[in-house]
Chain A
Amino acid sequence: MRSLRKIVFGRREKFINLLVLVLNPWWWIIIQRNPWMGILVFILSLSVFLYFWQTKSKKLLFSLLTLTLILFFIAVRDAFDESLFRNSALNIQQYNKRHEFYAKDLGKIYTNKFSLTYFKEYSFPLIKLQSNLFANLDPNLYFFASHPRERLGVEEFKKYSPIFLPFFLIGVLYSIYILSPNLFIYSISILLLSSIISSKYNLGPILFFPLISYMITIGFILTGRYLVGRLRKRYES
């Protein structure tokens, strides 16, 4: 118990992370709609921060991956994007039209077995996967409820206050600068896993919650360090 308390409240940086986790509308919405998911995502977010910012412990990595997988499976169970493998009437109509256009312009380059199979079987699921994947990479989704490009048929809700945005950007730029392989692999994995979860999920792109919170936290920490450094310099001079 003491060690857990030490991990959670041991340093000020963890306190910042806790504040970021609690002071955002997204977590409260998750808690309201599914309390267990709220607790799970909270613990996972804390693990992400501790592992990537402070302790590279194998135990922490193991718990982080386990919690991520649990979260992923729950999200998939609740909101697997079935449209990936089921074409709507609009898709089919578009497919038939495009089939005509390609055949007219490309001739045998298109009407061979390979191209036709790719176009009929794989092109739409691939586009939809890509769509889901990039939908989660939209910062406006997290800070402005997707404004100014709100999505049709998706319940858009505010996830983080726009006040956090500058810190998020600092965190992202810092992470790109450091380019930690572990963080990179984790981010890519989350990105890929999230692409099969429907964008209409009422909890939002929940797998990204720990990562976004992490970026905001390190943005706060780095800004704090910079300001303290400046103040110290001024005081000394």
Chain B
Amino acid sequence: MKVNWKYILILIAIITVSAILRFYQVDNIPPGLTIDESSQGYNAFSLLKTGKDRYGQPFPILFRLFDSIQVPLYTYLTVIPVYLFGNSIFSVRFVSALSGVILIGITYLLFINFEKNRKNHSLAIISALMVAISPWAVFYSRISTEASLGVTLFVLSIMFFYFSLKHRRLFPAATFILGLSTHAYYSERILSALFLIGFIWLFRKTIFLQRRIFILGIALLIITQMPHLWVANSGAFTRRIVQVNYFSEQFFQENSGNLRYIPFGRSLFITREFASQYLAYFSPKNLFFDPDPQQGARSMPDLSVFYSWMIIPFILGLRSLIVKRSLPFVRIMILLLVIGPFSASLTRDPFATIRVLGFLWGITSIIAFGLNYLLSIFSSFRLKLLIFTVVVLLSLVQLYLAYFVLLKYERSDNYGYSYLELLKQIDQMKNQHFVVDSSREPAVGIMYAFFKKYDPNKLQNDLKPLVAGRYYSTSDPKEVYIVDNIEARPIIWREDICKDQVLVGDLLAISDGQVKEHYLRFLFDVKDMAGNVALRAYATDPGKKCNWQK
């Protein structure tokens, strides 16, 4: 094949833009670390030093995180950046950001093979660019989430599946990567199974032409699932879905309204929930205007997962998909769209974007189809380029304002920024003992252990007894993190005021009444990025308060 340098240069430019969007100030924006990020970072550090996670579990199949579970692949891969760049926010987010850049390359390769006319790579270029600048893709690439690694592996497997229709020997590679993606994120477990069934059913005539290769592929997939079988009975494998689904009797009783009183009410309730949740992922309002309604750390202010203008190419893209529905690639895309929101629709959280990144990638591809069609209306290349450049620039401006400016100020609390600032203050007061209230920020202890490179052996000694022999099966043990002169746990008023130490908490943790009642002496404030007081530190006065006890 003759190399077209014009398109190679454009691709390099797109990858450069995407790398800038994903790596620029990634250690400052979002400011701080979430609970998941802190856990991944410290576990990677602990694995690097001891071969065990912070609970002392050697090479876990799934990682514990308080009463929840984290899928393992992201944490294992984070060992490399932690080794190379040390314990920093950059290291924790590196795998996610890199996955985001790789996803653009995969998208380009996939679309370039779809285009019949190899001389014209416009669809591949547009799709790569759309993935590069789409708000969902930028947002999730800049936080360390297993989901961004999951979507990259999943799309890579789609690429191999598509290629395997022509080169059947690639089928085992496709199933292997698909199997691997189930270790990258929860949603991929269901998505992968549905995708494989759908793919086999759609292309059964082609696939079954070489049964040996098909059997080899399935065997490889089963091998990748062995670790899941190992923990299948422990409850850890299904804990997350049990925590977030709407199948329980209690949830039905509390939320079903009049359905409680009619026959088959529960089945009807579950059907209604599923249908409404599933439909919400196709709602233009959710896709193009309203941000993700989950906790603040899952969205950016005033910007949804796509730009509002994208609704027009989306509609045209849908049309292209319907028109070209007999093509294998388009059939794969339609399959992805149909099954994409399935796993997320089993949960009670409305429009939880983190659970549908594969689906969002599919929607981005449809937008690329539509945009390609729109641009093909104009014959002049210069006019096309002008329109395209203006639209992309306006999108980048919108992204910059929402993400790089507003998110930093308005959402800093969701990323524990004030606790990071507190750590700087604590470092200047090494002689004092600190109790940091963790009622609303359970990750603060792990975060401090990570940044202070706290000896994993010591932390393992503290935490291992809590889960001894029941690593996968216990839930919610009361974890107290003691990192040098810092104790991260809820304040115990009866005891803590009788020790000479500093109590730190947010405005809900320590009230003005408690300050007066316990003779607390104000030391300092910690403000969030918007300038609001987030944390307050008080010195105790055991002499005054607890003398009567003596």
Contact = CB atoms under 8 A, between A and B. Distances in A.
A and B interact: yes
Interface of A: 97-98, 101-102, 105-106, 127, 130-131, 133-135, 137-141, 143-144, 147-149, 162, 165, 173, 176-177, 179
28 contacts: A97-B409, A97-B530, A98-B406, A105-B404, A105-B408, A130-B308, A131-B289, A134-B289, A138-B284, A138-B285, A138-B286, A139-B282, A139-B283, A140-B276, A140-B279, A141-B285, A143-B279, A144-B272, A144-B275, A144-B276, A147-B276, A148-B273, A148-B276, A149-B280, A149-B350, A162-B276, A176-B315, A177-B323
B405 A137 contact: no
Interface of B: 272-273, 275-277, 279-280, 282-286, 288-290, 293, 302, 308, 311, 315, 318-319, 322-323, 348, 350-351, 401, 404-406, 408-410, 530
Contacts of A147: 276
A131 B348 CA distance: 24
A176 B319 contact: yes
A165 to B, nearest CB: 7
A149 B284 contact: no
B30 to A, nearest CB: 15
A97 B302 CA distance: 15
Contact of B302 (A105, A106, A127, A143): A127
A176 B318 contact: yes
Contacts of B293: 149
B286 A149 contact: yes
Question: Which are the 4 A-B pairs with shortest beta-carbon distances?
Answer: A148-B350, A134-B289, A138-B285, A144-B276
Nearest to A148: B350
A204 B387 CA distance: 37
A134 B322 contact: no
Most chain-A CB neighbours within 10 Å: which of B279, B283, B319?
Answer: B279
Question: What is the interface of chain A mostly: helix, strand, loop, or mixed?
Answer: helix
Given A134-B284, A135-B285, A140-B283, A179 B406 contact: no
Nearest to A137: B284
Contacts of A138: 283-286
Contacts of A165: 275, 279
B283 A137 contact: yes
Nearest to B318: A176
Contact of A177 (B275, B284, B311, B322): B322
A179 B409 CA distance: 44
Contacts of A98: 406
Contacts of B286: 138, 149
A162 B308 contact: no
A131 B304 CA distance: 12
Nearest to B345: A148
Given A134-B290, A148-B277, 19 more contacts: A97-B409, A97-B410, A102-B401, A106-B405, A134-B285, A137-B285, A140-B283, A144-B272, A144-B275, A148-B276, A148-B348, A148-B351, A149-B286, A149-B290, A149-B293, A165-B275, A165-B279, A176-B318, A176-B322
Contact of B275 (A101, A106, A127, A162): A162
A137 B308 CA distance: 12
Contacts of B530: 97, 101
A149 B302 contact: no
Nearest to B404: A105
Nearest to A123: B302
A226 B280 CA distance: 28
Given A147-B276, A149-B351, A177-B322, A101 B405 contact: yes
A188 to B, nearest CB: 10
A101 B400 CA distance: 13
Most chain-A CB neighbours within 10 Å: which of B285, B286, B350, B406?
Answer: B285
A177 B311 CA distance: 16
B256 to A, nearest CB: 12
Contacts of B285: 134-135, 137-138, 141
Given A138-B285, A177-B323, A148 B280 contact: yes
Given A149-B280, A162-B272, A134 B308 contact: yes
